[in-house]
Amino acid sequence: MKGNKPLDRDYFKYKDRPKRESDKDFTSCCGLDTSRDILNVKSKHDWELIEDYIEEQLRIYSNTEKITPVSCEVCGRLLEYVCKLKQDKNLWR
């Protein structure tokens, strides 16, 4: 039955052909496109890149107190960085 369901990009992408195993897909845990190269906190190399990035941000932005690399608890893919800013009013003079 048609209707009563959302038509998204995937709907049109697979409208005229069946979806194959090799087609783009999304992780079931965090909904990220598996074909995208996303930093993963479980990877030693990626973690070093994440550390470098945060260290650099802390160096550049003196009003940033700490940065949390928020990642998927299942697969470890990096979702976002959450910055905690210092509450020091003197920074805003």
Residues engaged in binding Zn ion (CB under 5 A): 27, 29-30, 72, 74-75, 77
* Six token digits for residue 30: 């965090």
Q: 42 Cβ partners below 8 Å, 6+ apart?
A: 75, 76
Q: How far is the CB of 41 from Zn ion (least distance, A)?
A: 11
User: Quick one: 49 or 74, whose CB is closer to Zn ion?
Assistant: 74
Closest chain position to Zn ion (CB): 72
- Which residues, 6+ apart, have CB-to-CB distance to 49 below 8 Å? 39
Which residue number, 40 or 64, has a Cβ lying nearer to Zn ion?
40
Nearest distance, CB of residue 44 and Zn ion, angstroms: 18
DSSP secondary structure of 15-61: SSSPPPTTS--B-TTT--BTTS---BTTSHHHHHHHHHHHHHHHHH-
If the CB atoms of residues 30 and 39 are measured against Zn ion, the closer one turns out to be 30
Least distance (Å) from Zn ion to the CB of residue 82? 17
